[in-house]
């Protein structure tokens, strides 16, 4: 029998456990964490510091630069839960490189994120300014699109308008019955109550009254939304009627019915996050979500504007997103391209058919944008490119003019590029980093979290560019 056996490398777990490990010695030189440790202290973090300048009492807080670096790195690698971030600070070498031996607990991390949500927009601009200085934003094609990201709201904590009315009536009857029982009980036990007043609400009654108050608030929200929608519909009808009158046309078809300002019986609202709305998910039915919007530059997929809305479609988002993009570019010091005579060159802005309207096209052009918005679902090889010299007739509608622009050689090239400008960005955020749901609640806080998600996307682009430059 052959007694030979394979030799293994020496292993001494006791010795390994006693060794002091330095992240600098173990992690690669070009690791993201070292890039952020060098970069974040160079950014303007004064909006974060201002909070602590007003409060000088108590124990010293954790260093602001360290906490910002920790939050940015965590979001960059897709770790967003405050408990998971705190656990990583104990177990993960890259996180340990940021916090050292003085590790914040999950509550400190959670509170820091909530307290400083307003400071994330200036930080987004700081990162955008850096990208502009590196030549990563050229404004050759700004692409606008939106994606549905899940809200932190359970479908089981929602109620329809019709059921709210029924449940309100039930609770009112139950409260009335409990009040009668409480009065009878007080009369019977008055001698036992001693110094107590005797009119304290029973827990069961208190719970029902709180529930009834929440339902009434939810009903009021749905009624206010329905009134706003009715006013918007009336405004739209009035504009259409005024346009028909100016053109001397008559309405085709039947006269529309009266506008009902009351909510639909199936209209729902959520109790955990009332501002979240039911939205259609790609291949997953419907769920409570927010509509996360972004404007992305074509050069290196840098996000120049990031906003969140609870509108279920993109119809009204073209102009607000363009305004946000132009404002951010100005604040970040990124200048609009200019012609030889010094006049600003319109910035191409591509978007899918969900953004098209005559009002949006007109508004974008007035802002100095060159809109290329689809007027319908585009088919492959739908029409040959038209010569650029062939202009549409002067009496052509905005839709016809846009169709002509998209069928030109330049228009086809610009719009075709949209798919590899902005759609991969959402894939990188949702698939590569696993960010498919917001952790915070309410439109304001969700908007701040989206800013953090997008600024970390930009930082990852800058980091990879720096690594490519170092390798070349």
Same domain membership, residue 374 and residue 417: yes
Q: Which two tokens stand for residue 113?
A: 């994120």
Q: Which of 37-41, 82-86, 194-198, 199-203 has the lowest mean pLDDT?
A: 194-198
Range of the domain at 174: 156-189+199-246+258-270
Comparison of pLDDT for 201 and 68, the residue scoring more: 68
Distance CA 382, CA 412 (A): 11
Residue 220 placed within a domain: yes
The predicted structure's pLDDT at residue 177: 66
Q: How far apart are CA 166 and CA 307, in angstroms?
A: 37
Average pLDDT of the residues in 316-330? 94
Residue with tokens 């490119």: 385
- Boundary residue ending a domain (115, 137, 171): 115
Write out the two tokens for 267. 């209209």
Task: Please tell me the least confidently modeled range out of 33-42, 63-72, 168-177.
Answer: 168-177
327, part of any domain: yes
Same domain, 87 and 143: no
Does residue 470 belong to any structural domain of this protein?
Answer: no
Q: What's the whole-model pTM score?
A: 0.79
Specify whether 303 is located in the same domain as 411. Answer: yes
Q: Are both 296 and 436 inside the same structural domain?
A: yes
Region of residue 148 (left: phi > 0; alpha: psi -120 to 50; beta: else)? beta
- 267 confidence band (pLDDT: 50, 70, 90): low
Residues 45 and 76 in one domain: yes
Give the closest residue to 143 by CA, choosing from 443, 423, 392: 423
390, 330: one domain: yes
Domain's final residue, options 235, 270, 305: 270
Report yes or no on 78 lying in a domain: yes
Question: In this structure, are 395 and 433 located in the same domain?
Answer: yes
Residue pLDDT, tens place only, 72-112? 999 999 999 999 999 999 999 999 999 988 899 999 999 99
- CB under 8 Å, gap of 24 or more: what pairs does 405-412 form? 405/372, 406/372, 406/374, 406/375, 406/378, 407/383, 409/385, 411/372, 412/385
Q: How far is Cα 271 from Cα 215, in angstroms, rounded to an integer?
A: 9
The reply to whether 251 falls in a domain is: no
The answer to the question of residue 74 being in a domain is yes
CA distance readout (Å), 154 to 21, 159, 331, 445: 43, 11, 38, 18
Per DSSP, the chain holds a count of helices (H) and strands (E) of: 17, 8
Residues 230 and 130 in one domain: no
The answer to whether residues 312 and 407 belong to one domain is yes
Most confidently modeled of 16-30, 256-270, 370-384? Answer: 16-30
In this predicted structure, the answer to whether residue 461 has a pLDDT above a threshold of 50 is: yes
Question: Are both 25 and 166 inside the same structural domain?
Answer: no
Overall domain count for the chain = 3
Question: How far from 133 is each of 43, 142, 170, 332, 456, CA to CA, in Å?
Answer: 13, 18, 63, 9, 17
Report pLDDT digits (tens) over 391-403: 777 667 778 888 8
Between 9 and 182, the more confident residue is 9
The pairing of strands 286-297 and 303-309 is: antiparallel
How much is the average pLDDT of 429-438?
Answer: 92
Residue 230 domain-assigned?
yes
Query: Using 50, 70 and 90 to split pLDDT, how confident is the model at 373?
Result: very high
For range 110-125, the mean pLDDT = 91
Same domain, 382 and 427: yes
Q: Please tell me whether residues 142 and 160 are part of one structural domain.
A: no
Helix, strand or coil for residue 305? strand
Around 250, how many Cα atoms within 13 Å sit in the side-chain half-sphere? 4
Is residue 466 in a domain?
no
């Amino acid at each position: 029998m052959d007694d030979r056996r394979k030799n293994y490398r020496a292993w001494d777990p006791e010795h390994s456990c006693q060794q002091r490990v330095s992240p600098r010695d173990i992690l690669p030189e070009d690791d993201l964490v070292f890039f952020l440790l060098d970069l974040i202290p160079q950014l303007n973090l004064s909006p974060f510091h201002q909070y602590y300048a007003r409060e000088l009492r108590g124990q010293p807080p954790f260093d602001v630069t360290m906490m910002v670096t920790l939050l940015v790195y965590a979001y960059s690698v897709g770790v967003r839960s405050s408990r998971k971030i705190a656990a990583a600070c104990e177990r993960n070498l890259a996180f340990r490189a940021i916090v050292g031996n003085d590790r914040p607990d999950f509550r400190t991390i959670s509170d820091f994120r909530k307290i400083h949500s307003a400071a994330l927009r200036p930080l987004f601009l700081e990162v955008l300014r850096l990208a502009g200085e590196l030549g990563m934003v050229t404004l050759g094609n700004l692409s606008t699109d939106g994606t549905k990201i899940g809200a932190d709201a359970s479908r089981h904590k929602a109620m329809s308008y019709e059921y709210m009315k029924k449940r309100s009536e039930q609770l009112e009857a139950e409260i009335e019955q409990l009040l009668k029982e409480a009065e009878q009980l007080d009369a019977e036990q008055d001698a036992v109550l001693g110094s107590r007043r005797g009119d304290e609400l029973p827990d069961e009654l208190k719970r029902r009254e709180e529930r009834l108050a929440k339902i009434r608030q939810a009903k009021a929200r749905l009624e206010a939304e329905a009134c706003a929608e009715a006013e918007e519909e009336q405004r739209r009808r009035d504009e259409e009627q005024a346009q028909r009158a100016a053109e001397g046309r008559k309405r085709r078809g039947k006269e529309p019915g009266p506008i009902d300002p009351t909510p639909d019986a199936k209209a729902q609202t959520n109790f955990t996050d009332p501002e979240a709305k039911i939205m259609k998910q790609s291949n997953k039915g419907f769920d409570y979500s927010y509509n996360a919007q972004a404007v992305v530059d074509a050069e290196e997929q840098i996000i120049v504007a990031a906003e969140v809305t609870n509108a279920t479609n993109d119809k009204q988002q073209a102009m607000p997103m363009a305004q946000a993009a132009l404002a951010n570019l100005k604040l970040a010091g990124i200048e609009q391209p200019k012609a030889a005579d010094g006049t600003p060159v319109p910035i191409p802005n591509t978007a899918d058919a969900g953004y098209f309207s005559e009002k949006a096209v007109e508004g974008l052009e007035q802002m100095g944008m060159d809109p290329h918005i689809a007027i319908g679902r585009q088919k492959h090889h739908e029409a040959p490119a038209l010569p650029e010299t062939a202009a549409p007739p002067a009496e052509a509608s905005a839709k016809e003019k846009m169709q002509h622009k998209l069928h030109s050689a330049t228009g086809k090239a610009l719009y075709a590029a949209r798919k590899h400008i902005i759609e991969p960005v959402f894939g990188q955020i949702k698939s590569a980093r696993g960010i498919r749901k917001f952790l915070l609640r309410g439109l304001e806080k969700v908007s701040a979290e989206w800013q953090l998600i997008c600024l970390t996307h930009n930082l990852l682009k800058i980091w990879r560019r720096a690594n490519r430059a170092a390798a070349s």
